[in-house]
DNA sequence: GTGCGTGCAAACGGTTTGCATGCTT
DNA sequence: AAGCATGCAAACCGTTTGCACGCAC
């Protein structure tokens, strides 16, 4: 968390109570919550916190590379504070998002034809499927 | 295109002028257009076509597996009529989406730990970066 | 003729923004 | 003291929906 404060100061962003709690809540959550979900959870600690602040904070944090916005297929954007290299597995039924590592993929080289395209910055794998629990109840 | 008609009939969907043109336009386009982009292009051929129809048609086509909705990081959903297995490379600057094949990836096995998660249906790779043109102009 | 598909307009919902106030620095 | 961050409310904008008419079947 100290590291977070440092990174935050380094980016010229002020440390506020709301920001700290938003980040803390996101870091604790393992379900890649949407802004609204975070808002509901945080209201217990900070009853006056507004949804706008959640949006603005998530947006700042993302711009400074402290968190990631996940591409799910849903309307609501979902966020992830885990900055270690990992990928996502999405249940298209219950919308649960699971993290997983795939080192073999991370080590692999993208196709040679992309060499001259430009500068590659990031590579994401998203697997879609139906989780065990949802399969049973269908 | 005949194949498309067949698939459409098989799904119990009526063949209408609008639907045919929407699909034709999407199949011709190589830039993964958004609904609004398609709408603009189609207005030259069918001046009265409405944006709602584009949305409804894209949605039907996607539900029946005839086209794919692409996860970009933008607000607007973008679509792809190419059903061959391929992946996407996104320029985060100009939003261009490029198709590419990655057979080595397609042949690879996902991590063993996912074996018992459920039923995997689909795997997408999205590479992000800055294309050559955008790099120059920065 | 039946009922799905279309166009129109209005609603929806997640996200963004303008503004006055408050708090970090 | 200066200016970014917050809360409120309103705007935004891509997408969805209700309804009446029209067209594919």
Q: Whole-angstrom Cα distance, residue B16 to residue A26?
A: 48
Predicted local distance difference test score (pLDDT) of residue B72? 81
Q: Whole-angstrom Cα distance, residue B102 to residue A92?
A: 24
Q: Whole-angstrom Cα distance, residue A3 to residue A24?
A: 12
Residue among B71, B116, B126 whose CB faces A73 most closely:
B71
Residue among B72, B127, B133 whose CB faces A123 most closely:
B127
Q: What residues contact residue A30 under an 8 Å CB cut-off, 6+ apart?
A: none
Cβ-contact A109, A117 below 8 angstroms: no
Detail the protein residues whose CB sits closer than 7 A to any atom belonging to strand D.
Answer: A 13-14, 16, 18-19, 46, 48-50, 52-53, 56-57, 60; B 9, 14-17, 34-36, 51-52, 55-56, 59, 75-77
Cβ-contact B63, B102 below 8 angstroms: no
The owner of tokens 């992946």 is: B87
The owner of tokens 């249906």 is: B121
pTM (2 d.p.)? 0.90
Sorting pLDDT into bands at 50, 70 and 90, what band is A71?
confident
**List of chain B residues with pLDDT < 50:** none
User: What's the helix, strand, coil split of chain B in %, to 5?
Assistant: 40, 20, 40
Q: How far is the CA of B73 from the C1' of D13 (A)?
A: 16
Q: Whole-angstrom Cα distance, residue A121 to residue B125?
A: 13
Sorting pLDDT into bands at 50, 70 and 90, what band is A137?
confident
Q: Whole-angstrom Cα distance, residue A88 to residue A128?
A: 9
Chain C positions within 7 A of any protein Cβ atom are 4-10, 13-18, 23-25
Q: How far apart are the first and last CA of chain B?
A: 42
Q: Is pLDDT of A3 > 80?
A: no
Q: What is the mean pLDDT of residues A85-96?
A: 92
Q: How far is B33 from chain A (nearest CA, A)?
A: 17
Predicted local distance difference test score (pLDDT) of residue A136? 84
Burial class (CB in 10 A: 0-12, 13-18, 19+), B127: buried
- 3-class secondary structure, B13: coil
Q: How far is the CA of A38 from the C1' of D9 (A)?
A: 21
Task: Determine how many CB atoms are found less than 10 A away from the CB of residue A43.
Answer: 13
Predicted local distance difference test score (pLDDT) of residue A86? 94
Task: Determine how many CB atoms are found less than 10 A away from the CB of residue B65.
Answer: 10
Mean pLDDT for chain A?
A: 93
Q: How far is the CA of B86 from the C1' of C23 (A)?
A: 51
Sorting pLDDT into bands at 50, 70 and 90, what band is A72?
confident
The owner of tokens 């800055």 is: B130
Predicted local distance difference test score (pLDDT) of residue A109? 93
Q: Whole-angstrom Cα distance, residue A31 to residue A82?
A: 11
Rg (Cα) of chain A, in Å, rounded?
A: 17
Predicted local distance difference test score (pLDDT) of residue A138? 67
* Residues pairing with B90 in the sheet: B97, B128
């Amino acid at each position: 968390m100290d590291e977070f404060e440092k990174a935050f100061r380094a980016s010229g962003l002020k440390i506020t109570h709301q920001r700290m709690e938003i980040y803390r809540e996101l870091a604790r959550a393992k379900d890649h919550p949407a802004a609204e979900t975070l808002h509901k959870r945080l209201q217990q600690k900070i009853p006056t916190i507004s949804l706008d602040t959640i949006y603005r904070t998530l947006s700042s944090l993302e711009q400074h590379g402290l968190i990631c916005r996940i591409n799910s297929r849903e309307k609501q954007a979902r966020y992830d504070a885990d900055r270690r290299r990992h990928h996502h597995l999405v249940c298209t039924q219950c919308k649960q998002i699971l993290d997983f590592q795939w080192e073999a993929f991370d080590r692999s080289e993208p196709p040679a034809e992309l060499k001259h395209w430009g500068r590659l910055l990031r590579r994401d794998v998203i697997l879609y499927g139906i989780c065990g629990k949802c399969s049973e109840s269908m």
